[in-house]
Amino acid sequence: MAIGTEVEAHPFDPVASKLAWEQVFKNFYGQTTDKAVVAEEEAKLAKVLDVYEARLKEFKYLAVFKNFYGQTTDKAVVAEEEAKLAKVLDVYEARLKEFKYLAGETFTLTDLHHIPVIQYLLGTLTKKLFTERPRVNEWVAEITKRPASQKILQ
């Protein structure tokens, strides 16, 4: 089920729901899991997660880890990466108008994958990109307050 929302020309497709159907619900109904479908959907999920991670990899290093190691942060590069992140968060803001979580009404791996990076960025000036988007800000609060999230972040 393609939603049609795009993040930098990559369609947002809630593949986690297809994985759940194949690996959980089919078994529940006594049907056989199609391993080819699982492999295909896992590849799609990896692609979705890679888009997000690729956008933040350099930014996370520049905004968080360079300062941690006593190096000077290149503010021009941070500004460039913030602009890229802002575009992604604009798509998320629109998506979160329709659903509580990125992939629908339930918390999924898509949301879980964001928690560590978000936690790093909330400790920087980049926090404003999250807080100035009300639905993104609410989503961040929701996913980071979960008991399992709290254990991960300790």
Contact 3, 15 (CB under 8 A): no
Q: With 70 as the cut, is the pLDDT of residue 115 above it?
A: yes
pLDDT cut 70: percent of the chain above it:
66
Q: Identify the CATH assignment for 6-153 out of 1.20.1050.10, 3.40.718.10, 1.10.3720.10, 1.10.760.10.
A: 1.20.1050.10
- Quote the pLDDT of residue 68: 55
Q: How far apart are the first and last CA of the chain?
A: 36
Q: Reduce the DSSP state of residue 6 to 3 states and report it.
A: strand
- pLDDT tier, 95 (very low <50, low <70, confident <90, very high otherwise): very high
Give the separation between CA 123 and CA 29, rounded to whole angstroms: 45
**Nearest Cα to 110, choosing from 139, 86, 85?**
139
> What's the pTM?
0.58
Residue ranges covered by each domain of the chain: 6-153
- Please give the pLDDT value at position 16: 58
Provide the mean pLDDT of the chain. Answer: 76
Tens digit of pLDDT for each residue in 15-68?
A: 556 666 677 777 778 888 788 887 887 777 666 666 556 655 555 555 555 555
In DSSP terms, 11 is beta-bridged to 6
Q: Are 154 and 119 in contact (CB under 8 A)?
A: no
**Contact in structure between 23 and 102 (CB atoms under 8 Å):** no
Is residue 55 within 8 Å of residue 85, measured between CB atoms? yes
